Amino acid sequence: MTRKQVAMAVILALLACLLSAALAYRHGLRRARQPAIASTSSGVAGSGGCVDFREAASQVGKKGCVSGRVLRIFTSRAGNTFLDFCPDYRQCPFTSVIFASDRAKFGDLSTLAGRQVEIQGAVTTYQGRAEIIIYDPQQIRLQP
């Protein structure tokens, strides 16, 4: 093997390692956003339970549980599905979304309309409102 071939092999090996590391990192982040619901209907274990969706902003930056009645299920043109907790989603202090890439994991979401639910996950903000991105069906629990 010439020096040029050895250098090219080393570069390709490094690129393969970097790509593997990047994919593993991304996969690890996605797993971290998919907390299983392991507690009882009281919500997140050790957190004192779920907060009402109107108080979800108090949970931003934490893994938390938000509860409320789903008024409507809306699917955008892009295939993202939103659980609406207010008559006008633009005025609602909380939003929850299932991205199109994860939608196949869920059954008939229309059965959630009118139901009281608990949603667990990392509470972030999007356009000034608290939000939980739902990646896994186990993040949603029906309340009795």
Over residues 123-128, the mean pLDDT reads: 93
Per DSSP, what are the bridge partners of residue 116? 69
Give the pLDDT confidence score for residue 42 in this predicted structure.
37
| pLDDT, tens only, 32-81 | 443 332 333 333 333 448 999 999 999 999 999 999 999 999 999 999 99
Task: Output the CA torsion sign for 123, 124, 129, 132.
Answer: negative
The stretch 104-113 carries a mean pLDDT of: 93
| CATH architecture for the domain at 51-142 | Beta Barrel (2.40)
Q: Tell me how far apart the alpha carbons of residues 114 and 84 are, in angstroms, rounded to a whole number.
A: 10
pTM: 0.66
